[in-house]
Structure 1
């Protein structure tokens, strides 16, 4: 019987998007054959988490994801909770998270139909080393000129409310029904000190930590394994290496080795 690998480098999937970029930032090869909007890391089968990079040259749609109960009522296995770590942002870049004031289901649907939702969104100025938690039900959108790492529940469910006139399907009935259209609590947004290790998120489904190579102690909570995304320098686990722009699934986080100055974004699922 073969011994189960404790670590594996995940396959990289390049995804073209109309709002993507034709020149990727470091550490990726700048050249692209099209407009790359996302780089996914294919998780092991049945893994509950997905990690991806997102690159934007235009605004993404205003959208919302259901929670577990809402998703299961619609025949889906689970809802979708996610978070964003900002790697870079052009001057004036923004993220839309929450609405300026509370909206009822009908008010949200009407605003999406008319386009008024764009002005009703709460647009947050964004810069590198900011972190945002997007709980299910949060109305959100990523603006142009942003590079980020997203860690999310591995469920493909997005209800698009508004897409700036692009000819794509909208999901107003389901989207308005699952949304909590309201201003977001301040704790969903935080600045990250990239010189220290710290927990960034400890929620219903997700735990996310920013780690320095000389202090990996927070990984003790990842008892069932973790997605490990190096942000600088090369790391190793169970003989498998990864550098910035790559991602490891590590079953035994005790095998992770990193240089003291390495920076790592680690995410793990909370069953």
Structure 2
């Protein structure tokens, strides 16, 4: 594998922002940008890392696991909230047990939002989203998403937007259950912490040089995403808003006190 900075793909979305926050400011504001992807390298195709920017609610949606996916690859994902406007919310899971028939009826009569567990969020909140979890992002959020590298999304409800829904496919894989509280936490911005330890990927936040414990969990290729400060990989400086691959963590020079997310496939 060769180390290096990953190319960026800018994705327009109806729910995206006209004005992106730093470090993503842009002169051309003719389109709403909802996502910025770091294009996976052929050396590590299993993960996709994105920044998301929401000016409106996203659809109520669900992703399949690998066994239920038509491609054989599912979509487990996680979110780290980087900025949340006052009152910003997201929904994960339901307020109570919900049957597939009740979910279908609620999606068709515009009441499915009332069944979802909406949570007001703040900067630093973190959520792991297993496949099968019905979820939705609200407006006013900037977040980092790490996911399996597949784009299979089944929309259950989309607020009347003229986009395709996938009720049959989505209901077949949806868990009509409350979201487990132990899958979310608040992440201090100044502490090293292991956020995800499999089964599909491993993710950690490090401050400056990673500890030996983190290094032991990240043997092999790693993707790095500085949130503050910078890192060096060879002659390349990687700054906030950028991402890069390295053959190993030992190939990365971390600036003192730099806050960096590191990820690898499990």
TM-score normalised by the chain length of structure 1 = 0.94
Equivalences for residues 14-53 of structure 1 within 5 A: 14-31=10-27, 32-45=29-42, 47-53=45-51
1:124 and 1:267 mapped to 2: Cα distance?
A: 26
CA–CA distance in 2 between the matches of 1:108 and 1:219?
A: 44
Aligned partners of 2:98, 2:90: CA distance in 1, in Å?
19
Which of 102, 110, 114 lines up with 2:97 in the alignment? Answer: 102
The separation in 1 between residues aligned to 2:31 and 2:94, in whole angstroms, is 33
Q: What's 2:141 paired with?
A: 146
Match of 1:196 among 174, 191, 194: 191
Out of 225, 229, 235, the position equivalent to 2:225 is 229
CA displacement at 1:30 relative to structure 2:
4.3
Tell me the residue number matched to 1:220.
Answer: 216
For structure 2, list consecutive stretches of 5 or more residues without a partner in the other structure: none
Alignment of 1:107-256 (within 5 A): 107-217=102-212, 218-256=214-252
SS at match of 2:199: coil
Which residue does 1:65 correspond to in 2?
63
Aligned residue pairs, count: 263
What is the deviation of 1:181? 1.7
1:11 is aligned to 7
Which residue of the partner structure matches residue 81 of structure 1? 76
How far did 1:207 drift?
Answer: 1.1
TM-score between the two structures when normalised by the length of structure 2: 0.95
Q: Give per-residue Cα distances to partners, 1:122-142, cap 9 Å, x unaligned.
A: 001111111100000000011
For residues 193 and 70 of structure 1, the distance between their equivalents in structure 2, rounded to whole angstroms, comes to: 35
